[in-house]
Amino acid sequence: MAADEPVPAGADPWLALARHTPARIALGRVGASLPSAEVLRFGLAHAQARDAVHRALDLAACAGALAAATGLPAQVVQSQAPDRATYLRRPDLGRRLAPAHAATLAMASPPPDLAVIVADGLSALAVEAHALPLLVRLRRALADLHWAPLVVAGQGRVALGDEIGERLGARLALILIGERPGLSSPDSLGAYLTYAPRPGRSDAERNCVSNIRPAGLDYPRAAHTLAWLVREALQRRVTGVALKDESALRLLDGAAAAPDAEAD
């Protein structure tokens, strides 16, 4: 049924809502059970979510592609989690750099405004699909800032960006990371921004932009929101609960340019 078609008389009223969401509503039933087709769709979605969690990110290929697209050097690091199984069991190890890799990060001079870290997180699929087109737009929107070299991190959690940002001497750390897959979104990318990054920062001290993907928050609007947050964070010297996202208000009152709608 097309989104603009009326709901037939006597049909399940939930059908009208089902057109506008990937949530599992108005699935129908056969006796006391779900239709076989819906059971199979659920099984497929569950398998896709599990595959996304266990999928390995080709770190070197990712770093090469990002460097070529942005014009920034990129290096690869690893967290203290030695493998995927350990990473999933020990979130704490994903929050700190392996000592050998920590030693490869040098403080830049002058201190960069922004350090961008790309980490596999819980969905390498999200990073493979969305990190590059988002970062290209963000690089264009923030071309006047001083960027640190890009860092691609394996077996990384959100807080890993704090240590990397501190070691690079950056005023802001932005980590793009694969989010925990859902049954309708195995490829959702998240972005976390932290002012004055250092180990021990709490989630309340970060701004999060989540569900970045074409079927969620698309690249132009995600890049616009992140660019606004970066500039405001540098000006106000805060992130997290002290910095509310008002980027949409700027669009409404004409104080900011509309997001770039061009495709890469």
What amino acid occupies position 26? A
What is residue 80's three-state secondary structure?
Answer: coil
CA 208 to chain centre: 9
CATH of the domain at 232: 3.40.50.11240
Note whether residue 26 is domain-resident. Answer: no
- Both tokens of 141, joined, read 């929107």
SS3 226: helix
**Residue 263 pLDDT exceeds 50:** no
Contact 256, 247 (CB under 8 A): yes
Per residue in 44-78, pLDDT (tens digit) is 877 877 877 888 899 999 999 999 999 999 999 99
21: in domain: no
List strands edge to edge, sheet with 172-178.
74-78, 150-154, 114-119, 172-178, 189-195, 206-212
pLDDT exceeding 70 applies to what percent of the chain?
90
Decide: 204 and 219 in contact? Cβ < 8 Å.
no
Q: What range defines the domain where residue 205 resides?
A: 54-252
Per residue in 202-255, pLDDT tens? 999 999 999 999 989 999 999 999 999 999 999 999 999 999 999 887 655 554
Residues 6+ apart with CB under 8 A from 171: 111, 112, 113, 114, 195, 196, 234
177-196 residue pLDDT tens = 999 988 778 899 999 999 99
158 is in an annotated binding site: yes
224 belongs to a structural domain = yes
Helix-strand-coil split of the chain, %, nearest 5: 40, 15, 45
Tell me if 31 is assigned to some domain. Answer: no
The pLDDT value recorded for residue 189 is 97
Question: What confidence score (pLDDT) does residue 261 get?
Answer: 43
Total residue length of the chain: 264
The answer to whether residue 127 scores a pLDDT higher than 60 is yes
How confident is the model at residue 16, as a pLDDT? Answer: 78
pLDDT score for 4: 57
Q: How confident is the model at residue 35 (pLDDT cuts 50, 70, 90)?
A: confident
Can you spell out the DSSP letters for 13-46? Answer: THHHHHTT--S------BTTB--HHHHHHHHHHH
Average pLDDT, the chain: 89
Res 27 pLDDT > 90? no
**pLDDT at residue number 206:** 97
* Strand pairing class (189-195; 206-212): antiparallel
The answer to whether residue 86 scores a pLDDT higher than 70 is: yes
Q: For the chain, how many structural domains are there in total?
A: 1
Give the Cα separation of 108 and 149 in Å (integer). Answer: 9
Contacts 24+ apart (CB under 8 A), 14-21: none
116 marked ligand binding residue: no
> Cβ atoms within 10 A of the Cβ of 39, count?
13
pLDDT score at 258: 46
The pLDDT assigned to 256 comes to 46
Please identify which residue in the block is written with the tokens 């980590």. 175
Decide if 231 is inside a domain: yes
pLDDT per residue as tens digits for the range 102-123: 999 988 789 999 999 999 999 9
Residue 184 domain flag: yes
Tell me whether residue 159 is in a domain.
yes
CA distance 244 to 260: 22
76, 60 in Cβ contact below 8 A? yes
Does 161 have pLDDT greater than 60? yes
Cα 164 → chain centroid: 17
Tell me the mean pLDDT in the region 114-138.
97
Question: How much is the pLDDT for 264?
Answer: 46
Inside any domain, residue 215:
yes
With beta carbons less than 8 A apart as the criterion, state whether 28 and 38 touch.
yes
